[in-house]
């Protein structure tokens, strides 16, 4: 074969390869681009007259005595997205009331199916039972009962050697976008306690400084929402926590058992709390701190008697001066 023919064959091969490459590039260029994810349109609030129709239906449920936790949850799922914050407040108020009313039945049902105390063994040293452990419950009736409790805003905790259901306020945060700041903050305060109780089995489970933070947070809430629907509940929590702060607990004393000398960490916490301005709690604890100092740092019956007076006065001021 002549050199000329070899040259022609070689040029033909190059041309074929070039055309194939161009074809592949065109195919790649024509591949459709990935479609962007579909953005869901935010749910629009209903018109005022539509809201009124929905709320009238809910008021009928309440008045007819059918405001169970499960019924209210279903109603909220179906209607809350199109309602406003004020409607959300009213519905959440009724949900919490229903949760409080039904908790005794929930505990009785759990006790009935837990005759073998399987839950106590499952808890071990835990204070609360994580939901992902429910599947480890062998008794199917008990497992179903506990799962139903968790599905309806309860959780199980171990307290004073007993297993009991409490309201899981953290789970109520799913409704916070549809309530006012007053209810948002109330849920936050209650969630702290349901997630991490301040005391258990006669002992503090948090530090004195952390307890003081919770007390001041409650006082701040009470002063800002003076006509709120949960004033009495929070005043009770405030008084209970204040009593633990002033006087300690059986397994968390504020003073040494033998000498009566106030614990250093407790006294320092009193000093820190007293430094906060504008709080009834701080003002009273400052007087208490001073009394302990003037009593040679000894906590005796006279000091504990003063504690009762300061606690009563703090509660009285918060309740009456609004």
> Per the domain annotation, does 184 fall within a domain?
no
CB of 65 closer than 8 Å to CB of 94: no
> Per the domain annotation, does 82 fall within a domain?
no
> Per the domain annotation, does 78 fall within a domain?
no
Q: In the prediction, which pLDDT does 3 show?
A: 44
CB of 155 closer than 8 Å to CB of 168: yes
Total domains in the fold of the chain: 1
| Parts of the chain with a pLDDT under 50 | 1-31
Domain limits for position 207: 198-322
> Per the domain annotation, does 232 fall within a domain?
yes
> Per the domain annotation, does 250 fall within a domain?
yes
Q: Which residue is associated with the tokens 């171990």?
A: 158
Q: In the prediction, which pLDDT does 22 show?
A: 45
> Per the domain annotation, does 175 fall within a domain?
no
CB of 274 closer than 8 Å to CB of 293: no
Q: In the prediction, which pLDDT does 33 show?
A: 56
CB of 86 closer than 8 Å to CB of 180: yes
206: left (phi over 0), alpha (psi -120 to 50) or beta: beta
Which of 104, 95, 82 lies closest to 187, judged by CA? 95
> Per the domain annotation, does 118 fall within a domain?
no
Half-sphere exposure of 249 (CA within 13 A, CB side): 19
Q: What is the pTM of this model?
A: 0.83
> Per the domain annotation, does 179 fall within a domain?
no
CB of 113 closer than 8 Å to CB of 139: yes
């Amino acid at each position: 074969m002549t050199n000329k023919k070899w040259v022609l064959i070689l040029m033909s091969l190059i041309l074929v390869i070039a055309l194939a490459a161009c074809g592949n590039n065109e195919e790649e260029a024509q591949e459709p681009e990935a479609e962007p994810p579909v953005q869901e349109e935010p749910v629009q609030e209903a018109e005022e007259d539509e809201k009124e129709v929905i709320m009238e239906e809910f008021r009928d449920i309440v008045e007819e005595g059918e405001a169970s936790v499960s019924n209210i949850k279903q109603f909220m799922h179906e209607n809350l997205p199109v309602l406003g914050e004020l409607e959300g407040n009213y519905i959440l108020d009724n949900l919490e009331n229903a949760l409080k009313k039904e908790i005794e039945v929930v505990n009785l049902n759990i006790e009935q199916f837990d005759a073998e105390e399987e839950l106590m063994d499952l808890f071990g040293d835990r204070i609360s039972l994580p939901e992902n452990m429910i599947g480890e419950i062998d008794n199917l009736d008990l497992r179903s009962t506990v799962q139903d409790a968790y599905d309806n805003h309860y959780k199980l905790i171990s307290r004073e050697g007993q297993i009991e259901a409490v309201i899981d306020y953290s789970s109520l945060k799913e409704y916070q976008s549809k309530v006012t700041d007053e209810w948002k903050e109330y849920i936050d305060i209650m969630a702290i306690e349901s997630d991490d109780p301040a005391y258990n089995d006669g002992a503090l489970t948090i530090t004195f400084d952390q307890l003081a933070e919770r007390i001041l947070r409650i006082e701040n809430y009470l002063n800002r929402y003076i006509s709120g629907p949960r004033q009495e509940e929070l005043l009770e929590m405030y008084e209970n926590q204040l009593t633990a702060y002033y006087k300690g607990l059986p397994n968390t004393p504020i003073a040494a058992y033998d000498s009566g000398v106030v614990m250093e960490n407790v006294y320092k916490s009193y000093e820190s709390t007293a430094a906060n301005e504008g709080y009834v709690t701080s003002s009273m604890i400052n007087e208490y701190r001073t009394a302990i100092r003037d009593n040679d740092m000894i906590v005796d019956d006279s000091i504990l008697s003063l504690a009762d007076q300061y606690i009563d006065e703090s509660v009285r001021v918060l309740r009456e001066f609004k």
